[in-house]
Amino acid sequence: MSFVVAAPEFVTSAASDLASIGTTISQANAAASAPTTGLLAAGADEVSAAVAALFGAHAQAYQALGGQASQFHQQFVQLMNAGAGAYATAESANANPLQAVVQDLVGVINAPTEGLMGRALIGDGADGAAGTGANGSDGGILIGNGGNGGSGAPGKNGGNGGSAGLLFGTGGLGGSGGADVGGGPGNGGIGGNGGQVIGFGGYGGVGGASGGGGTGGAGGPGGGAGGFLFGVGGHGGTGGTGTNGGIGGPGGTAVDLFNLVGTGATGGDGGNGSNSGGNGGPGGHTPTIWQLLLTPEVANGHLFGSGGDGGAGGVGGNYGGAGGWGGEGGIVFGVGGNGGNGGAGISSFGGNGGFGGFGGYLSGIGGNGGNGGPGMPPGFGGLPGLGSFNFSFGAIGKPGSRG
């Protein structure tokens, strides 16, 4: 048995193309009408007059046929558009009852937990209102994405993103910080935590812009991500602009209960400034319960994991911002994050590149150092990360180049 699939949007697009073709042909016929139907005789003799009359008659017959073809073409296009509308109406009629059933079912499922705990079992969290700095609501207890934080009022911090559900979900975005109105700008909100089985942390909010002579707000930290199986932290927020750019937010941390594989997120870029650019945020690490047994300085990873890259330094009129440091990798084996590139100094010093992160505690591959930013003089490249924290085994990353 064969099946035919009719997509209304494709039928409508084809009808539009046919209408364009018909318009082009009609314009060509109209342009050819006068030169062909009004053909003059080559001479005053009867033969020339007969030849001109013959060609003129052919031209008139062609124009008549062309008019009929144009009318048929328009009717065909109208039928195609009507058919597309009929298909769309049928799809809507079939989908709406099913959507209503699903919504009713979800409402029945969520009713007990909403009544007892004030939180749905399944569903996305509500976003914070813009201009209020309100936090985003958490997603459903089991499944759901966190709501985004609301942007901050002038000079106030952005709201934090809501956390995702227990099983799956992405944390909400941090809200943008409010612009400076005399008392300093607001910082970006923190990204929400991801789901506990498989999750992705929300991005940190952008720092607020500063007024004259001030420093832009700091970018919000990226949200952490938990997960029995897999997790990725959220990117750090970009620093706000100002006379001096704000610093980028640190990349989110990936944490899972089994401590198997984790990925740190990229740090936020530093904000641009008319005097100096902000420094990039550090890449995210992946801390675990091993920190209870090892010193915090060396326990920055899962058994296997990679650190996040450092954020790039902001562009500055006189001083470029420094790149953020790369995050550390796993304990047994890991890959260090690359250092962020330094920001450009428009009229003076370029920013230095960030250091590459350590590969891991036992073994790994170190992150590359960030490149220095262009300037007069240019910034220095960042040092590479070592393959392992205890110098036992691993490959060293590449140093960054000078801007």
Catalytic residues: 309
Residue 198 to residues 86, 225, 329: CA-CA distances in angstroms? 42, 8, 19
What is the rounded distance in angstroms from the CA atom of residue 359 to the CA atom of residue 298?
11
What are the phi and psi torsion angles at 164 (to 5°)?
-80, 175
Task: Characterize 146-179 residue by residue with b for buried, 16 or more Cβ atoms within 10 angstroms of its Cβ, and e for exposed.
Answer: bbbbbbbbebbbbbbbbbbbbbbbbbbbbbbbbb
What is the rounded distance in angstroms from the CA atom of residue 170 to the CA atom of residue 227?
11
First to last CA, the chain: 65
What are the phi and psi torsion angles at 400 (to 5°)?
-75, 155
E strands within 19-126?
A: none
Q: Among residues 357, 283, 356, 351, which one has the least CA distance to residue 322?
A: 351
What are the phi and psi torsion angles at 61 (to 5°)?
-65, -40
Q: What share of the chain is helix, strand, coil (3-state, %, to 5)?
A: 25, 10, 65
Residue 104 to residues 141, 146, 298: CA-CA distances in angstroms? 18, 22, 51
The H or E element containing residue 200 is strand 198-200
Residue 86 to residues 13, 79, 81, 263, 356: CA-CA distances in angstroms? 15, 10, 9, 49, 60
